[in-house]
C-alpha cells in the first residue's frame, strides 16, 4: 500500500528559495488549532502535541481503509489583534493557528471519529479544539529562511521589499511552514518557509 506524501504531491508549496517568489496556493484541507501566547510557552507546546495526536489518529483511521498518508509538516499562521508592527507586540499577545495539511479525501465525520478515539487514549483536553478547515490563500509570496526563528525578521524584510517592488499588498496572515524539527536540528541549520498572501 503506497502512502500519499503531500509535500511531494504539492512540491511547489513545500519548497522555496532564498529569493522571494510568487506562487498560487490553491485551497487545501488542514487540521487546525487556534491559540494565543508565547510560542515558547506551555499552551503552544500543548496545542502542538494535540494537533499531532489528532493527525496521527486520522491517519490511522484512513490506513485501516487502505488510504494511508504521511503526516505532513507543521505549519502556522500568525497575527496580532493590536495596531502597529506585529514584531513590536509582546510575544504573549501573539495569535496563531497551527496547521497540518490533510489529503483532500479526509472528511469531517472521520476526523470527529478520530478525535474521539484519540481522546479516549490520550485524555488531552485540547483535542476538543482541533478542527478540519479549508484554507485558500491564493496569490502569495514565498521565501526560504535558514537559521533560528529569532532571525526571521531579516528574511521578512527581504520579502517585504519584494512585495513593495512588485506593487503588491498584504492580503492575509503571515504563514510559516516548519521544514526542520527544532528538537533534532541545530538552530543555524533550521529551515522555515515564510509565506505571505498578497493582492
Write the pLDDT tens digit of every residue in 43-70. Answer: 999 999 999 999 999 999 999 988 999 9
Q: Is pLDDT at 86 greater than 80 in this prediction?
A: no
Q: 102 pLDDT exceeds 70?
A: yes
Domain annotation for the chain: domains and CATH numbers: 1-26+139-199 (3.20.80.10), 27-135 (3.20.80.10)
Q: Are 89 and 79 in contact (CB under 8 A)?
A: no
Q: What is the mean pLDDT of the segment spanning 153-158?
A: 96
- pLDDT value at residue 182: 86
Q: What whole-number distance in Å separates Cα of residue 22 and Cα of residue 70?
A: 27
* pLDDT at 187 exceeding the cut of 80: yes
Confirm if 76 and 99 have CB atoms less than 8 A apart. yes
**Predicted pLDDT at 1:** 61
Q: Pick the closest to residue 194 from 162, 164, 166 (CA basis).
A: 162
Say if residues 71 and 6 touch (Cβ distance below 8 Å): no
Q: Please give the grid coordinates belonging to residue 74.
A: 507543521
Amino acid at each position: 500500500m503506497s502512502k500519499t506524501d503531500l509535500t511531494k504531491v504539492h512540491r511547489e508549496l513545500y519548497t522555496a528559495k532564498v529569493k522571494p517568489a510568487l506562487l498560487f496556493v490553491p485551497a487545501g484541507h488542514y487540521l487546525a488549532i487556534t491559540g494565543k501566547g508565547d510560542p515558547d510557552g506551555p499552551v503552544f507546546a500543548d496545542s502542538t502535541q494535540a494537533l499531532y495526536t489528532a493527525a496521527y489518529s486520522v491517519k490511522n483511521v484512513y490506513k485501516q481503509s487502505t488510504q494511508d498518508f504521511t503526516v505532513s509538516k507543521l505549519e502556522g499562521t500568525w497575527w496580532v489583534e493590536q495596531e502597529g508592527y506585529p514584531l513590536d507586540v509582546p510575544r504573549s499577545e501573539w495569535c496563531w493557528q497551527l496547521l497540518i495539511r490533510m489529503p483532500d479525501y479526509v472528511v469531517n465525520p472521520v476526523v470527529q471519529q478520530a478525535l474521539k478515539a484519540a481522546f479516549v487514549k490520550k485524555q488531552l483536553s485540547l483535542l476538543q479544539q482541533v478542527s478540519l478547515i479549508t484554507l485558500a490563500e491564493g496569490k502569495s509570496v514565498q521565501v526560504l529562511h535558514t537559521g533560528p526563528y529569532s532571525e526571521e525578521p531579516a528574511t521578512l524584510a527581504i520579502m517585504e521589499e519584494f512585495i513593495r517592488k512588485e506593487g503588491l499588498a498584504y492580503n492575509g496572515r503571515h504563514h510559516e511552514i516548519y521544514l526542520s524539527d527544532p528538537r533534532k536540528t541545530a538552530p543555524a541549520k533550521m529551515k522555515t518557509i515564510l509565506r505571505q498572501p498578497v493582492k
